[in-house]
Each structure stands twice: as structure tokens, then as C-alpha cells.
Amino acid sequence: MSGAPRYSNFQSFEGTVSSEITLQFNWRPSKIIISNDSGSADLSFKFNSSETAGTLGPTETITLEMSSKTVIIDGSAIPYRVWGFG
């Protein structure tokens, strides 16, 4: 059988961020998707407090093949979605 990979775990977060928040997965996903659902503002993200934050522009989504239990996001009234697969 071919096609998309199958994952045994999935967890999602969605809402509106108004100041820095830390999202904590229940396990360590191997694929993380972060989506900025704002039409006009940037969303910042990082994976630990000592990192420099990355930025997603309005309506941008990033897919990361990496393993991290924590995603830290920041913005001012920014709707977001974060998914973890593993």
C-alpha cells in the first residue's frame, strides 16, 4: 500500500494568541504544522525559550519534519492552528 504516511498519534491546538503562550504536546511528534490564520499580522514561533523566533506572515503555514514536545507562539490577537503527528 502506498500513499501518505500513517501516524499513530495526532494532537491539535487552535485559538487566538494575544501574548506568548507555550503549547505542550502529550508526546514528541515527528511532524509539526503551524498555521497563521490572520489575514494581516505576523505570528512568531519557536521551540525553546533560548531560540530566536521564526515568523509566519499572514495566512502562511509551515510543515516541519522535526521532533519537539513544545511550541512557543506569540502575536497580537492572531488566530492560529498547530498540529502534531507522530
Q: What is the mean pLDDT of residues 31-51?
A: 97
What count of residues does the chain have? Answer: 86
Per the listing, cell 502575536 goes with 75
Q: Is the pLDDT of residue 1 over 60?
A: no
- List, in sequence order, every residue forming a beta bridge with 34; answer none if it has no partner: 62, 82
The pLDDT, as a whole number, for residue 3 is 63
Q: What is the pTM of this model?
A: 0.90
Q: Which domains does the chain have, with CATH numbers?
A: 10-85 (2.60.120.10)
